[in-house]
Amino acid sequence: MTILDGKKISNMIKDEIKEEVDQMKDRREKVPHLAAVLVGNDGASQTYVNSKVKSCNRVGFESTLIKLENTITELELLRQIDKLNKNKDIDGFIVQLPLPPQINTQKVIMAIDPDKDVDGFHPANFGKMALDMTSFIPATPFGILELLERYDVETKGKHTVVIGRSHIVGRPMSILMGRKGWPGNSTVTQTHSHTKNITQIISQADIVISALGIPNFLKAEMVKDDAVVIDVGITRVPDDTKKKGYRIAGDADFEAVSKKASFITPVPGGVGPMTISMLLKNTLLAREMHLND
């Protein structure tokens, strides 16, 4: 069994990006600039956005954090997005999700300039992704592809079962694993809350990608011998022994599943750290796109 060490690979990618940025600085070129919009004070969202900003500093990117009140109106948020779209210095930006209930998330995503949409959530980018065109690929699925590639995991002709159909992970992942090329060329089954006999379907998977958010959902009995297990779960579970009062749990029973799997991602330290590195990579791509604007 091989651990797909997202923390290690993520650090390697950050080092690679930093090297490119150092060269830009030597040439006195503009460095990539990422902005993040955080609405409200959801604990997990604050943590994610803070680590995105911290990672920008680590690789030498410029970053801007825009914190907005939980009570902000949709119109005001759309005005902020318009400003970011027009700001020539900013190469890419993200609006951290989820957003408060008074705001229509799809409307906000549609307002982002697709050329600055480093999350790859805008329908223009999502459509391009589905049509094998060059686009920004959502960071978490992009990170999973990168892990599969760096560990030389074969995906061609394999049966990939994706658990969950969220717009951020499950849906794009199921498209990407079925695309031409590598990683891809898989036969994909997309499962969700209405799937019948899900246990039986998972037991037929060569590659399981679980993005469900239910700790310990994926048990050893459910996976085939030598399956590749990608655990995208990041649930906060109360834990008094931890300083923060919680620990992060994946969807898989790691102890038991890892004994059967050929490759597996740990939680934490698997898919999570990859997400941030791929967001940086998308920002680097955005800066290249905008150089001649």
Catalytically active residues are 52, 96, 119
User: Which of the stretches 88-96, 125-133, 183-191, 245-253 binds ligand GUN when contact is defined by CB under 6 A?
Assistant: 88-96
Site for ligand GUN in 132-171 (CB under 6 A): 139-140, 168
- Contact pick of 39, 72, 94, 173 for ligand GUN (by CB under 6 A): 94
Q: Distances in Å between the alpha carbon of 138 and those of 86, 110, 124?
A: 22, 15, 12
User: Which of the stretches 8-16, 66-74, 92-100, 251-259 binds ligand GUN when contact is defined by CB under 6 A?
Assistant: 92-100
Q: Which of residues 135 and 275 has its CB atom nearest to ligand GUN in the complex?
A: 275
Establish if 37 lies at the interface with ligand GUN (CB under 6 A). no
Q: Which of residues 21 and 169 has its CB atom nearest to ligand GUN in the complex?
A: 169
Query: Measured at CB, which residue is nearest to ligand GUN?
Result: 97
How far is 195 from 216, CA to CA, in rounded Å?
Answer: 19
Cis peptide before 183 (omega within 30 of 0): yes
Establish if 81 lies at the interface with ligand GUN (CB under 6 A). no
Amino acid at 147: L
Minimum distance from residue 139 beta carbon to ligand GUN (Å): 5
Six-digit token string for 155? 């995906």
Six-digit token string for 285? 């791509």
Contact at 8 Å (CB) between 213 and 199? no
Sign of the C-alpha dihedral, residues 180, 229, 265, 152? negative
* Cβ count within 10 A of residue 222: 20
Contact positions vs ligand GUN (CB under 6 A): 94-97, 119, 139-140, 168, 275
